């Protein structure tokens, strides 16, 4: 059986934090705000996988109220998603994602992000899609107030 899930996330920028996307630190003048490392791309991918498995969303497994996960590396969240898929007898066929951000340009880091995400999900880098677009200067992304990400995941058993 094949199943598909979707995920979406958004985080505001915050001065003085590192910018973590796809499990790597990307040079930029500021990072994203969050209870976790605020890796908006990994969060969208996590929700896509959880959705494909018919499970509750990321906040169920990693509640924003849980002080013990403050600053958690979102690759750990993807590892949990891979565990849950395995427990339910599914393999992750592929994930695809789009980061929506005015700046910085991220595609030069796509290969490094794919490697990290694939390792956490126990799949191959070519099973991980990463794309990026600006928001053509429109809306909160266009004003550089934050970033958004969307993702889909396919699983099979």
34 binds, among ligand CDI, ligand L45E5XJ5, none (CB under 5 to 8 A by kind): ligand CDI
Query: Which residues is 14 bridged to in the sheet?
Result: 31
If residue 115 lies in a helix (H) or strand (E), which one and from where to where?
A: helix 110-121
Whichever of 43 and 109 has its CB closer to ligand CDI, that residue is 43
9 binds, among ligand L45E5XJ5, ligand CDI, none (CB under 5 to 8 A by kind): ligand CDI
Distant-in-sequence, close-in-space partners of 11: CB < 8 Å, separation ≥ 6 = 32, 33, 34, 38, 40, 43, 146, 147
Tell me which stretch binds ligand L45E5XJ5 (CB under 6 A): 14-22, 44-52, 70-78, 132-140. 132-140
Whichever of 38 and 113 has its CB closer to ligand CDI, that residue is 38
Nearest distance, CB of residue 105 and ligand L45E5XJ5, angstroms: 4
Residue 42: exposed, middle, or buried by beta-carbon count in 10 A (0-12, 13-18, 19+)? buried
Q: Does 133 bind ligand L45E5XJ5 (CB under 6 A)?
A: yes
Q: Is the peptide bond preceding residue 104 cis, with omega within 30 degrees of 0?
A: yes
Site residues for ligand CDI per CB under 6 A = 9, 34-36, 38, 43, 58-59, 62, 64, 69, 77
Distant-in-sequence, close-in-space partners of 128: CB < 8 Å, separation ≥ 6 = 94, 95, 96, 97, 114, 117, 118, 121
Q: Which residues are annotated as a binding site?
A: 9-11, 35-36, 43, 57-59, 133-136, 140, 143
- Please report, as ranges, the residues that interact with ligand L45E5XJ5 according to CB under 6 A: 101, 105-107, 132-134
């Amino acid at each position: 059986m094949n199943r598909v899930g979707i995920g979406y996330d958004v985080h505001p920028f915050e001065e003085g934090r590192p910018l973590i996307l796809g499990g790597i630190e990307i040079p930029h003048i500021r990072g994203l705000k969050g209870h976790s490392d605020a890796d908006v791309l990994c969060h969208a991918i996590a929700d896509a996988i959880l959705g494909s498995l018919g499970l509750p969303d990321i906040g169920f497994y990693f509640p924003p109220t849980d002080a013990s996960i403050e600053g958690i590396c979102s690759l750990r969240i993807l590892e949990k998603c891979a565990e849950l898929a395995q427990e339910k007898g599914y393999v992750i066929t592929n994930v695809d994602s789009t980061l929506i951000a005015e700046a910085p340009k991220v595609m030069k880091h796509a290969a490094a992000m794919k490697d990290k995400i694939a390792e956490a999900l126990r799949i191959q880098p070519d099973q991980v899609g990463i794309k990026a677009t600006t928001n053509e200067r429109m809306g909160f992304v266009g004003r550089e107030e934050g970033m958004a990400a969307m993702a889909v995941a396919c699983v099979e058993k």
